[in-house]
Structure 1
Amino acid sequence: MRLSFYQFLMTERNPDSADEIAQFANNAALDQIFPKQSQDFDVISKYLEENARYLPSMTIFDAAWQRYLAKMT
């Protein structure tokens, strides 16, 4: 079974890390309306662009998405 992007992202959490993806994951864990079941790039990207003030740059999401795709193959 393929993980949702959120489920994958939760494996990247690390409160002691300065890594941008880890910080993204830490903040997404606190986001109660994050699309937690989605595996769709466009759905998640649109949500983040419109709602995630905690994400300083969409390039961080893009890097996390590439890591997600690599892990799911």
Structure 2
Amino acid sequence: MHKTFYTFLMTQRNPDSTDAIAEFANNAFLDQSFPKQSKDFHELSQYLELNAGYLPTMTVFDDAWQAYLASEA
């Protein structure tokens, strides 16, 4: 994996979309504490569980993580 999850997630941003991953990306962009350098699932998952009230369900993160892994394959 070369790019960080955050870098990947920013490619999913779309302010006009109602897609769950796009909304996650839009909100993560505004989250100044988001662990932008992380490539670690557990670190990101823990951060989101404790700090990301904007994430309606962790399934959105799981789906985004799978897309991230696929993009790095």
* 1:33 matches 2:33: yes
TM-score (norm 1): 0.98
CA distance in 2, matches of 1:23, 1:66: 17
Structure 1, unpaired ranges of 5+: none
Question: Pairwise CA RMSD of aligned residues?
Answer: 0.8
Residues 5-49 of structure 1 deviation map (CA, whole Å, 9 limit, x = unaligned): 000000000000010000000000000000000000000000000
Residue 9 of structure 1 aligns with an amino acid whose one-letter code is L
1:2 deviates by 0.7
Q: Following superposition, which runs of at least 4 residues in structure 1 exceed 2 angstroms of deviation?
A: none
Q: Work out the CA distance in 2 between the residues paired with 1:18 and 1:54.
A: 14
User: Which residue matches 2:15?
Assistant: 15
Partner SS state of residue 59, structure 1 = helix
Give, as a single letter, the amino acid of the residue that structure 2 aligns with 1:42.
H
